[in-house]
Structure 1
Amino acid sequence: MVSRKTLAGAVAVVGLLVSAQGANALSIKEALAATYQNNPTLNASRAQLRATDEGVPQALAGWRPTITASGRYGYSWENQRGTYFEHANYAASISVTQPLFRGFRTVNSTRQAESIVRAQREDLRVAEQNALFQAATSYMDVIRDTALVSLRRSDLKFQEEQVRASKDRFNVGEGTRTDVSQAESGRARAQSALNTSLANLNTSRAIFRQVIGIDPKNLSARTNVTSLLPKTVSSAISIGQEEHPSIQSSLFMVDAAQFAVKTAQGVLLPSADLLGEASLTDSNATGNLGPESRSATIYGRVTIPIYQSGSEYSAVRQAKEDLGRTEILVDVSRDSIRAQAISSWGQLNASIASITAAEAQVAAARLALEGVIEEQRVGQRTTLDVLDTQSDLVDARVTLVTAQRDRVVAAYQVLSSIGRLDYDNLGLSGARYDPTEHYRLVRDKWIGLRTPDGR
């Protein structure tokens, strides 16, 4: 017969989701900190922001002079009425062009680039939230699948004892071959379910390694994430509308589009430049010193565009259409974040309700199984009754384990939907990435091929 000790051990499996795994457990907060430092997708987003930073010094270059130098050297031969001449001639020049007025294009393109940088910083915050949410999800998936593997192993042990008990009853004439076959079928089902759970666990562990950058060992599901959540769904919606980086990014892109329109319009305005040039030419004939000349000029130039094939007007219209598109995308972002907040809040409440129901279901199914086993002993129940009741208990435990996982994941999803799943709000350890550091280093650079980190 199946012992009560076996049943008690099976029930304890569910506790894997709510108990610490020892003093050396890797907490979910530590896993999120490792993700913040190691996640390759997140690091790629940071590199993208650094590349976007370079748009500002490129725009500021409109204020700076352009300096070019040129030179030539060569020979020429000439025959004049039988007299042969050979000339070695060379010339060198240097020119400087200093923009004075470009139809406000430099001002507006700089502001456009700055707005794009701000938008990209918000996009980086989105990438951080996505990476941290993926990490939290993969962390809980490993814990869930580990618990399910333990549950399936406990179920397999139960089924093996059921097979042994059925054979013992058959050998003493108290059971039938059908009872044995039913028990063996239950054992095969439990073995198949265990194999599936092991495969799912291996997949979850691989995703954990991909997202977090370390192997999952001694995980603990203890977390204080619920203390970071707003009290009501209306508060979550309000916070998300005010703080979510997706909305902030779309607003900055509207600013960038407005400056893009002004930049395009600047092509229609006059421009003024200050130009300077110095040159040296010399020609040496064979046996004689040829003429040498030096010159230097400086002058101002005003250019008034009249008609430039019409492309400039098309560019202005195009920029205005792009501005309208970015304004629409603000509303799209607001609606999307609102939907995410409501959805994640609903999933959180549903998972909490599911845990309560599943706990009651587990308790009832466990008592039912104990009763059916006792009734089987006195011949009032069949082996099939025991297997069916055991299947109900296993299903209830699977539901409970899954609901406990879903509750934690939903809490992190709520935090992500309001824009607060980040380094500061989570209180993560390790160095915090400063998105403005690279910007400050490159904004006013006039020259240099190396990046601030030495590449």
Structure 2
Amino acid sequence: MSVARRRLPAVACACVLAALSANAAALDLLQAWQAAQANDQQLRAARAAAEANRERLPQARAQLRPQVSASFSRNRNELRSEQAGFLGIPVQEHEHYTSASDALTVRQPLYRPQLTAQLRQARALVANGDAVLETEEQKLVMRLTQAYLEALQAEEQQRLVEVQRLAFVAQLDAARKGFAAGGGTRTDVDEAQARIDLNTAQALEARQSVDFARQQLAMVVGAPVQELAPIAVDRLPLAVPQPARLEEWLARAEAASPELRAGAAQLEAAREAVRVARAGHHPTLDAIAQVSRSESDNPTRVDSKYRQALVGVQLTVPLYEGGAVNSRIRQALAEAERAEGALQATRLDLGSRVHREFRGVTEGIARVRALEQAVRSNEQLVQSSRRSQQAGARTILDILNAEQQLGTARRDLAQARFAYVLALVRLRALAGDMGEASLAEVNGWLAR
């Protein structure tokens, strides 16, 4: 990947965040995704790891190609010799001379099963790196969606607390007026004031939740978050996921899961590592071509020059390495068994997650509809309680309880909607169907 291509996500992120800052617009899910792609550090690390893994392939191929080397040496020699001369008198000689040698060697592997196994292992490791990168992209979609929805949920809770506070303030005002007019009791005033005091504490907690949720989202997108596009309830589809059968979603997840592809690639790499280790028992055969030139290469032929060319084959047969080869084989077999077990565990875990998210979607629809009815019923209860209180059949406490119950129902409904959307996004992501197009569809459920 070129430097220009690596800078594209960062440029896109800067453009999105600059546009939001200039227009004071609410950040939607698709804009958050574009920013998160450039900012998320886990995804950045996965990209770098995938790039590093891709370099294994040219390195493995290079081992099967001709290896060309050249060597040059120049030496200054000092020779002292002594030999018997005339009448046995020792004669000493002291000589200085320069020697040189040059060689050009070409070696081509002909039979090296270890190198071919390493090439297949490199292909598997490259596939594993690409699958891990896709897994991190999938996880980023889930983390971003969860952080976005949690921020929306915190804002919705803060809004509901404020709405409830207005209702309690109105009831406190009514209680005080009734007590002053002699038609109410001090208990009604104290009960209304107690609800407001509790609401104040809840408002502080809700504000802290909003700040924390926005901070968590800002860590993903790489910039402070001021305003979010909320879910438009009228646009949110409450439909059973298609296909409607869990078995089909499980099949789709197994076919598309990058986690399973990564596990399968790791298992293949481990099996090739076994073949690499077993190749330590096999002989190797290389073709060799060499051209060499030497000058004064031995003290008996000082000032002599030689040029030699050779072509041949070299056979190397391993005999004994102290048991190291057998140890490496056992180690590789254990790693292959571990990789196979990890793959099976990943497959089981994937099935469990798909099952959980599928039920989260299907049961979430029923829960949302039930809570929508509960909200309508509690709204009616509040109205009835107010009319009954005016008629003298109910007290301020009954109205406060009804308001409290309505606030709880509204909170549970908002949580159920967010949980439904999150389960649907996770289900699609696990089935490999959560690309930018699907994310744009979910983004269409937000209010502008």
Q: Same fold (TM over 0.5)?
A: yes
Query: Superposition pairs for residues 104-253 of structure 1, below 5 Å?
Result: 104-216=113-225, 217-221=227-231, 229-253=242-266
Q: Structure 1 pair 426/98, CA: closer, same or farther in 2 (3 Å)? A: farther
Amino acid at match of 2:303: P
Give, in angstroms, the shift of residue 166 of structure 1. 2.4
Per-residue CA deviations over 1:140-173 (Å, capped at 9, x if unaligned) read 2222221111111111222222223222233333
Which amino acid counterpart does residue 278 of structure 1 have in structure 2? S
Is the aligned partner of 1:260 residue 2:261?
no
Q: Kindly tell me: are residues 46 and 369 of structure 1, through their superposed partners in 2, closer, same or farther at Cα, counting changes over 3 Å?
A: same
The residue identity in structure 2 corresponding to 1:291 is D
Superposed CA offset, 1:90-125 (max 9, x none): 535345351423432221111111011112211211
Q: What is the rounded CA distance, in whole Å, between the counterparts of 1:229 and 1:148 in structure 2?
A: 31
Contact 2:294 2:305 in 1 (8 A): yes
**What is the CA-CA distance between 1:401 and the residue it aligns to?**
0.5
Query: Which residue of 1 is the match for residue 416 of structure 2?
Result: 403
Query: Which residue of the partner structure matches residue 340 of structure 1?
Result: 353
- TM-score (structure 1 length as normaliser): 0.79
Q: How does 1:436-451 map to 2 (within 5 A)?
A: none
Amino acid at match of 1:252: A
For residues 111 and 41 of structure 1, the distance between their equivalents in structure 2, rounded to whole angstroms, comes to 28
Match of 1:313 in 2: 326
Among 363, 370, 380, the alignment partner of 2:383 is 370
Greater CA drift, 73-82 or 101-110: 73-82
Letter in 2 for 1:205: R
- Kept in 2, the 8 Å contact 1:270–1:304? The answer is yes
Please state whether the residue corresponding to 1:67 is helix, strand or coil.
Answer: strand
Aligned partners of 1:427, 1:179: CA distance in 2, in Å?
51
Distance 2:172 2:316 in 1: 96
Aligned AA (1:139):
Y
- Contact in 1 for aligned 2:241/2:361 (Cα 8 Å): no
Distance 1:92 1:374 in 2: 111
Opposite residue 59 of structure 2, the aligned amino acid is Q
Tell me the alpha carbon deviations over residues 295-344 of structure 1, each in whole angstroms, 9 at most, x when there is no partner: 44534321111111111112122222322332333322221211111110
Change (3 A) 1:423 1:319: farther
Deviation at 1:231, TM superposition (A): 2.5
CA distance in 1, matches of 2:340, 2:236: 38
Alignment partner, residue 434 of structure 1: none
Tell whether the 8 Å contact from 1:271 to 1:304 is kept in structure 2 after alignment.
yes
Q: Aligned partners of 1:363 and 1:376: how far apart in 2?
A: 20
Residue equivalent to 1:31: 32
Give TM-score scaled by structure 2 length. Answer: 0.80
Contact 2:241 2:362 in 1 (8 A): no
State the one-letter code of the partner of 1:243. A
Q: Which residue of 2 aligns with 1:71?
A: 73
Conservation of the 8 A alpha-carbon contact between 1:108 and 1:263: yes
Give the counterpart letter for 2:231 in structure 1: A
C-alpha deviation, 1:49, in angstroms: 0.3
Q: State the 1:279 CA deviation.
A: 4.6
Residues 85/399 of structure 1: CA separation in 2 closer, same or farther (3 Å cut)? same
Tell me the SS of whatever aligns to 1:337: helix
| Distance apart, 1:427 and its partner CA | 6.4
Q: 1:78 to 1:151 in 2, by over 3 A?
A: same
Q: Determine the structure 2 residue equivalent to 1:271.
A: 284
Which letter maps to 1:326? Answer: A
Partner of 1:443: none
SS in 1 for 2:314: strand
Distance in 2 (alpha carbons) for counterparts of 1:239 and 1:130? 17
Q: Which amino acid aligns with 1:264?
A: A
Matches within 5 A, 1:280-291: 280-281=294-295, 291=303
In 2 relative to 1, CA 200–185 (structure 1 residues): closer, same or farther, beyond 3 Å?
same
Aligned AA (2:417): Q
Q: 1:425 to 1:97 in 2, by over 3 A?
A: farther
Indicate how the Cα distance of structure 1 residues 103 and 77 shifts in structure 2: closer, same or farther if over 3 A, else same: closer
Partner of 2:63, secondary structure, is helix
Deviation for aligned residue 1:245? 1.5
Residue 408 of structure 2 aligns with an amino acid whose one-letter code is D
Q: Distance in 2 between matches of 1:224 and 1:257?
A: 46
Report the CA distance shift for 1:77/1:103 in structure 2 as closer, same or farther (over 3 A): closer
Opposite residue 366 of structure 1, the aligned amino acid is E
Structure 1 gap segments, 5+ residues each: 1-21, 429-455
Structure 1 residue 62 corresponds to structure 2 residue 63: yes
Residue aligned with 1:175, SS: coil
Residue 4 of structure 2: aligned partner: none
Counterpart of 2:371?
358
Letter in 2 for 1:248: R
Question: Relative contact order: is structure 1 or structure 2 higher (C-alpha 8 Å, sep ≥ 6)?
Answer: 1
Aligned-CA RMSD value: 3.1
Larger displacement relative to structure 2 (385-394 or 162-171) = 162-171
Structure 2 gaps, min length 5 = 1-22, 83-89, 442-448
Paired residues of 1:94 and 1:277 also in contact (CA < 8 A) = yes
1:291 is paired with a residue whose SS is coil
1:438 aligns to what?
none
CA contact (8 A) 1:28 1:221 kept: no
Q: Report sequence identity in percent.
A: 21
